[in-house]
Structure 1
């Protein structure tokens, strides 16, 4: 028997028996070479209708009855109230889901399932056993996908099937230890103790090391919470496909539909570099980024203004607000160095950190501004293929103004 306690995750609909039957197989009978396991915690994700069905049968009462029926397994069966959690996700309006029938409800349920799998696979001292039985077919799909991305070698995905008579009897929750007559639909009498309950292990394509660990190894942060964003990130990692869009009107950047969370100053600089790169004008000399009215200064200034309008809560200052339109020749070299060291370089450094925190490592590398200029003459570019960049509303992007030569 394994010494690792099990956390059972179920997606029950209106058939509570799939939960009790799974606990019976795992804790009482044992499955395959593993033997009986201790079910430490049962987490059930369902709808309001599913919760009503679960509360009507009283799972704790069922489990305590199971423990009395099988005293040798009693210590492995969850019989305390704090061992059972029934979760009903809230929709975007804060209302509990009563069903999963449309795209919005499906997205909410998907996010809840992903969050549960993520949390339950975070503790290396506990095994996650996820059951596909019960719930809508889409819920099973979301659970299977989440397990593919997060499951560790010890975690399991399964499906439970009971005999025909058991499935047709609403009083059947597990095979009792002694002969017990029950009635199925249609008046069929059967001995519940003889009913078969079979648990099938579902093979998993385990991608955790390729997706979850690849991201954490670089940035040490959680993956996106949204199921849709998570699938998008996994696609980036597994196929290497990257699509980048830069919206000039809002100074927002999206990577395969994942919006980057940047302060306005950071958004302006990275947006500018990506647009210049898409138009074949990189590397951009740092000196072209230090004036308000020349070089790419007009673009940076406009992008920053657009970003602040988009992010109304932002108080992000931008050093361009403090710069004159064009520095006198005599003061340029000294002031260029001051602006570069005090303002531009720290912003570039922050952008690098933000990209590492929000993107998988190889994608962050492709979008990170790099200095490729000779010593003493910084110039920035990105490694991303320019054809992967889409510029939205590019007519609103100011033309680059040549920087006057120093006298």
Structure 2
């Protein structure tokens, strides 16, 4: 397992060496690499203090540890809204660019399952530390950590103090004058106490779509937050099932976010059957029993599937299934074993497989909190009443939990 220390810094890069000292003192994993998120002004301070003046190398020598991989390329400067490195974020657009940048860096560093990330919130502006902590909560895994370094009173923000060095002796101010304690005694570097304060955080990574943790394009913080919040605002979701294009589209009426899904023909027909029952307020679409496959349900399903294959619906399921098998042998777009499983009706296990297939399809791009409104579920009680909480009972009718006014079906 490789270990990375990620820190936000401002004009006091001392927080980096303080954090490293505390990690060593508390016998926590020593980082193999070090990354900083800062402004262009902070970049100059970090490069000068940690690299040019050698405080990072001096710390490692004194502790007898290997220096983490760190050079100027590991000092990540936040951009403004135009992508230009900034001294400070001055506009709403700049702050949004800062959030996107930090979210993307955390996403990139947490993409490797063989790498742990320890994020430090000790330095930099409050907005930077907030976004870093929030990004860790969204993307952090079990092996990742979040902390803040605490330094004893009198040593904070001193330009001459980098860590409790046994070799440095008395500290001095910026003019070179010796510094004294409140009691008038020399302020000695080695007398400082540096403590690492762990910050517990809730990890939401498992509830996020699998596409987010992957490296690639920039992550847009606002879109991610909006997407997560949509789970509590299903009234803003719009679902379109375009049977002509064989496409499922999910969109947000309050933003330009739009997600397209291309299921299999079998999956699309099954989903259209569920959506149509929802829109028609038909509560009798139930899961087949374990003892007997459902032929009535198969007929409803074939009525959805056959037009997708360019076939006319048949009066009975036996004829329809035979025509579908003949078509499949010619086109090869539906697996024969799928059709064979339907000989005699839809069995319970086949029904469950289609549900699972569709749920996984939505979870590829959407958080669990959103996909649950789109995935087939029991939405009707056995007496035909609409459930307030989908899936809260057994034996009821299936459909799509989303409100029917938010569902549009475009026929072939």
Please tell me the TM-score bracket, short chain as reference.
Answer: 0.5 to 0.7
- The count of aligned residue pairs is 339
- Distance, in Å, in 1 between the alignment partners of 2:72 and 2:174 is 31
Mapping for residues 126-275 of structure 1, pairs under 5 Å: 126-163=115-152, 165-176=154-165, 177-183=167-173, 189-190=179-180, 191-194=187-190, 196-207=192-203, 211-213=204-206, 222-223=212-213, 225-231=219-225, 242-243=234-235, 245-246=237-238, 252-254=249-251, 259-262=258-261, 274=275
Q: Go from structure 1 to structure 2 and tell me whether the alpha carbon gap of 1:333 and 1:169 turns closer, same or farther (over 3 Å shift).
A: closer
For the 8 Å contact 2:273–2:304, the answer to whether it is kept is no
Q: The residue matched to 2:169 in structure 1 has which SS? A: coil
Q: Go from structure 1 to structure 2 and tell me whether the alpha carbon gap of 1:333 and 1:6 turns closer, same or farther (over 3 Å shift).
A: closer
Q: Go from structure 1 to structure 2 and tell me whether the alpha carbon gap of 1:149 and 1:175 turns closer, same or farther (over 3 Å shift).
A: same
Q: TM-score, normalised by structure 1?
A: 0.61
For the 8 Å contact 1:9–1:43, the answer to whether it is kept is yes
Q: Go from structure 1 to structure 2 and tell me whether the alpha carbon gap of 1:382 and 1:96 turns closer, same or farther (over 3 Å shift).
A: farther
Matched, 1:367 2:374: yes
Deviation of the 1:143 alpha carbon:
1.8
Gaps of 5+ in 2: 181-186, 243-247, 286-296, 336-353, 378-396
The one of 57, 68, 77 equivalent to 1:64 is: 57
Quote the residue 1:391 is aligned against: 406
Q: Go from structure 1 to structure 2 and tell me whether the alpha carbon gap of 1:362 and 1:19 turns closer, same or farther (over 3 Å shift).
A: closer
- Distance, in Å, in 2 between the alignment partners of 1:340 and 1:273 is 24
Gaps of 5+ in 1: 293-318, 371-380, 402-407
The one of 64, 74, 83 equivalent to 1:74 is: 64
For the 8 Å contact 1:42–1:84, the answer to whether it is kept is no
Quote the residue 2:278 is aligned against: 277
Quote the residue 2:34 is aligned against: 42
- Distance, in Å, in 1 between the alignment partners of 2:327 and 2:236 is 27
Q: Go from structure 1 to structure 2 and tell me whether the alpha carbon gap of 1:74 and 1:260 turns closer, same or farther (over 3 Å shift).
A: same
For the 8 Å contact 1:169–1:185, the answer to whether it is kept is no
Deviations 1:158-182 (A, max 9, x none): 2123356544533432233241341
Moved more, 177-186 or 334-343: 334-343
Quote the residue 2:292 is aligned against: none
Deviation of the 1:58 alpha carbon:
4.3
For the 8 Å contact 2:4–2:34, the answer to whether it is kept is yes
Q: TM-score, normalised by structure 2?
A: 0.60
CA RMSD of aligned residues (A): 5.1
- Distance, in Å, in 2 between the alignment partners of 1:275 and 1:290 is 13
